[in-house]
Amino acid sequence: MSDVAEQPAVIERWPAVSQALLKGASQQLRNMATIGGNLLQRTRCSYFRDPVYGACNKRDPGSGCAALDGENRTHAVLGTSEHCIATYPGDLAVALVALDAVVHTRGPNGQRTFPIDDFFLLPGDSPQREHPLVWGELITGVEVPASAVARRSHYLKVRDRESYEFAAASAAVGLDLAADGTIRAARVALGGVATKPWREPTVEAALMGRYADERVFREAGSLAAADARPRGHNAYKVELARRTVARALTIAGGR
């Protein structure tokens, strides 16, 4: 992770990727962690992590989901099902989803490629299955296309404390601006609020052809998380996600 985050070419051409990597874990972990391992990290849902709780469909399919009516402040409001509301915890994947990355793998069936948005699976009725990899298959590379959107990108992470903490909400955004300041293309993805890195095409469409200013960014950001299904303690994430998108767009637009 450190090697990629600190590459001058990554910092210049894919800043959101570098920023997302540097916001994850600690320096010691980033010095050892692999890109593939980071993408495949498991949820930090306490009901999944602690076997004292018997009801966890991700750990024990068919046992139920204790988080549905339990302490769910950190849990997902998007992409959930009646079987699981565990949040995908990573940062890098959010930036990669916004920038249309492709995952390359090699396994018993040879080489395969996956658009990054298809690589992470919704929980549905089988939350124990989080990705399409089969036994013995490895991630061998991640391809991120170069573009004007990627060059003017930003990753913003909002959390309870500044270091070594998972996102309450995060946003990876990218903008392609014409010479007169109008938006030719936009990319927006959310993290910390969904069961997988969450692309926001509605927000992207609302930005197209508009002049890049703070008012437009707030209006577009207010459309994020439109399909949210909050439960109990995590309802704050809906408004937080919208404000995070607006702020990230403002930062990227002003760069």
How far is 90 from 197, CA to CA, in rounded Å?
A: 8
Rounded-to-5 percentages of helix, strand, coil across the chain: 35, 20, 45
Per-residue pLDDT tens listing for the chain (255 residues): 999 999 999 999 999 999 999 999 999 999 999 999 999 999 999 999 999 999 999 999 999 999 999 999 999 999 999 999 999 999 999 999 999 999 999 999 999 999 999 999 999 999 999 999 999 999 999 999 999 999 999 999 999 998 889 999 999 999 999 999 999 999 999 999 999 999 999 999 999 999 999 999 999 999 999 999 999 899 999 999 999 999 999 999 997
Phi-psi region of 25 (alpha: psi -120 to 50; beta: other; left: phi over 0): left
Task: Please give the pLDDT value at position 86.
Answer: 98
Q: β-strands 102-107, 138-143: how paired?
A: antiparallel
- Using a cut of 0.75, tell me whether the model's pTM lies above it: yes
- Structure token digits, residue 218: 């707030």
Phi and psi at residue 236, to the nearest 5°: -60, -25
CATH number of 148-254: 3.30.390.50
Task: Please give the pLDDT value at position 81.
Answer: 98
Element holding 64 (H helix, E strand): none
| Nearest residue to 219 (alpha-carbon basis) of 210, 228, 229 | 210
How far is 171 from 239, CA to CA, in rounded Å?
A: 13
Task: Please give the pLDDT value at position 163.
Answer: 86
Contact 138, 106 (CB under 8 A): yes
Task: Please give the pLDDT value at position 164.
Answer: 86
Any idea where the domains of the chain sit in the sequence?
Answer: 148-254
